[in-house]
Amino acid sequence: MLLYLAKRLKQISKNSNEFKNNMLMLETLSGNRNLKNIFIEVEKMLSVIDWENLPSYAIGMEKGMERGMERGAYENAITIITKYNLDPATVAKDFNISYAELRKKLDN
């Protein structure tokens, strides 16, 4: 019940100060009714951030996916070049990757 009340207070509060004041009142009331330990757990639950819903998470995830796909393209290109003895310039063009970068990776 405390978790429901705390979530509801978060929804109806106009700003963070109002929410803090409301939570302070709820904390005081919970202390009067020997609910301190339960209230501590509720505050912990509310402080957990849902990272996946943050815009910065989505941006970072997209960049990470792009980097992973690019890395995979280079790894696949190197595998094909070495396995089938193909021309790196042709493979770079076919894979739409930088020839200079591919050369660096092949030389390492």
Q: Are 83 and 77 in contact (CB under 8 A)?
A: no
CA distance 90 to 33: 75
CA distance 91 to 47: 50
The residue type found at 8 is R
Q: Is 13 helix (H, G, I), strand (E, B) or coil?
A: coil
Answering whether pTM is above 0.85, one says: no
CA distance 46 to 36: 15
Q: Which residue has the higher pLDDT, 87 or 58?
A: 87
pLDDT in tens, 1-30: 777 888 888 888 888 888 888 888 888 877
Domain-wise residue ranges, the chain: 2-48, 55-107
CA distance 44 to 38: 10
Nearest to 30 by CA among 7, 10, 6, 54: 6
pLDDT in tens, 39-79: 788 777 777 766 777 788 889 999 999 999 999 999 999 99
